[in-house]
Structure 1
Amino acid sequence: MERMADEFAGVNGQTPEQAPVSPKRRTKPLPDPEKSEQLIRRLNDLLSASDYFGRYASLTPEEKISKLFLASADDKAKSDINCTVSDEVRSQVPVLFQAIAGVLEEKSGLMIQSSAEINVEGFGRGLLYSGRIILVIKSLRAGFPFPFTSLAKTVAYGVACVEEGLTFLDKYKDLAEVQSLLNLEG
C-alpha cells in the first residue's frame, strides 16, 4: 500500500510526505457505558423471566444473552440467503425493544411501552411510545438490522435507540409530560 502511495506521489511530482493521505475508515464511537450496562441488565432480566425452570440461572448475563438471545451464524446466513427469518430471530425483536423501553423508563421517569413485530419475510417495525407520544420508530426491512449475532452490536443498536428516545423526550419535554401515561415518580 505504501509503495502505491509512493508511486502515486512520484507521478504527481510530490514527495511521499506531501502526497495526500487517504482518509481512514470511520469508526463509530463506543456506546455510553452506563446505558450499555443498563441495557444488558434489562435484557438479562427479560431472559431470566422467560427461563421458567431456571436452567440458565447460573450463567453470567453475557453468557445468558449469548445462549438465549443472540442468533447463530446459521440463522444469519439463512436470513441473508432467502430473506426469511427464523422463529428465534422473530423472538429477538420484541425482547430487545422491551429492554430498550425499560432503560428509557429508568432514564426518563415516564412509563414507556414497546410494540414490536416482524413477519416471516422479515418486514416489521419496532415502536417505543409513552401515551400518545411516539419516541422511537424503527422500520425493519428484510429483517435488517436483525438478527444480531454479537452482544456488542446489540448493545450499540439498543443504546442508539435509547439516546434517540431521550433526545426526543428532551426536545418535547412539556408535551411528553402532559400527553404521556402515568409518571413513574408520583
Structure 2
Amino acid sequence: MESMANEGGMMNTRSLQEGVTVKRRSRPAEKELDQDMVEIFVRRLCNLLDITDHFGRYATLSTQEKIERLFLASKEDKDQSDFNCAVPPKIRLQVPVLFQAIAGVMEEKSGALIQSTAEINGEGFGRALVYSGRIILVLKSLRAGFPFPFTSEDKVIRYGLACVEEGLEFLEKYKEMTAVYGSFSIEG
C-alpha cells in the first residue's frame, strides 16, 4: 500500500517537474445572450404576468419591476422552501408561467403551434413539457423544486433562453420528418 502511495506522489512531482498542467474544473464562461430573444422572452413573461394581475395593480410598473414583484421569489421564500421542503404557492405559480413564456417565444420564432404543460406538487416534484403536436421539444423534471425558485431576473432569462434554444434545435432536427404529414401524424 505504501509503495502505491509513493508512486502517486512521484507521479505528481514528476508532472510538476515536466511542466504538465493539471486541468481543474472551472465554471464555464457565461454565454452572450441574443438580445432579440431576451426582449421577446421578457415581453412574453410580462404579458403572462399581466393576465394574472386581475385588478391591474401592477400595470404602471416597468417590466423589470413587474418581474421582480410578481414572479421572482424573495430570499425569505427561498429559505422557507429550503428549510421545510415545502414549496410556497408563489413558487408553484412560477413553473407554469415560465414554461408558457418559453412556449410563446418558441412559437414566435418557429411559426409552429407550441404548447406547454407544467405541474409541481407541494414537495417540489413535477415536470414540465413543451411540445408541438406529438413532438416533445423540452422535457424538464423538477426534483425538490430545482431550479426553482428564481431570485434574480438574469437567472430566469438564462434558464428560459436555454430551454428555448434546446426546443428550437430539436424542432429543426425533426422538421424534415414532419414536413410531409405534419407533426400530428408521426407514429409513436
Which range, TM-score by smaller chain? Answer: 0.7 to 0.9
What does residue range 99-178 of structure 1 map to in structure 2 within 5 Å? 99-177=101-179, 178=181
Show structure 1 runs of 4+ deviating over 2 A: 18-28, 174-181
Distance 1:176 1:137, change over 3 A: farther
Q: For residues 131 and 94 of structure 1, what CA distance do their matches in structure 2 show?
A: 19
SS in 2 for 1:126: strand
Q: For residues 115 and 13 of structure 1, what CA distance do their matches in structure 2 show?
A: 57
Whichever residue aligns with residue 71 of structure 1, its letter is A
Q: 1:180 aligns with which of 174, 178, 183?
A: 183
Which blocks of at least 5 consecutive residues in structure 1 are unaligned? 1-11, 182-186
TM-superposition CA deviations, 1:73-118 (whole Å, max 9, x none): 1111112222211000000000000000000000110000000000
TM-score, with length taken from structure 1: 0.83
Which of 26-35 and 77-86 deviates more? 26-35
CA contact (8 A) 1:124 1:141 kept: yes
TM-score, with length taken from structure 2: 0.82
Q: For residues 122 and 23 of structure 2, what CA distance do their matches in structure 1 show?
A: 43
Q: 1:73 aligns with which of 50, 72, 75?
A: 75
TM-superposition CA deviations, 1:136-179 (whole Å, max 9, x none): 00000000000001100000000000000000011111234434
Match in the other structure for 1:90: 92
Q: For residues 107 and 21 of structure 2, what CA distance do their matches in structure 1 show?
A: 49
Distance 1:55 1:21, change over 3 A: same
Q: CA RMSD in A?
A: 2.0
TM-superposition CA deviations, 1:17-74 (whole Å, max 9, x none): x795886643221322211111100000011111122111111111101000101111
Q: For residues 70 and 45 of structure 1, what CA distance do their matches in structure 2 show?
A: 15
Q: For residues 176 and 120 of structure 1, what CA distance do their matches in structure 2 show?
A: 38
Q: For residues 85 and 143 of structure 1, what CA distance do their matches in structure 2 show?
A: 7
Structure of greater relative contact order (alpha carbons < 8 Å, 6+ residues apart):
1
SS in 1 for 2:50: helix
Q: For residues 53 and 76 of structure 1, what CA distance do their matches in structure 2 show?
A: 27
CA contact (8 A) 1:132 1:179 kept: no
Q: For residues 115 and 65 of structure 1, what CA distance do their matches in structure 2 show?
A: 21
Question: Is residue 2:33 matched to residue 1:31?
Answer: yes
Q: For residues 179 and 128 of structure 1, what CA distance do their matches in structure 2 show?
A: 17
Match in the other structure for 1:59: 61
Which blocks of at least 5 consecutive residues in structure 2 are unaligned? 1-15
How many aligned residue pairs are there?
A: 168
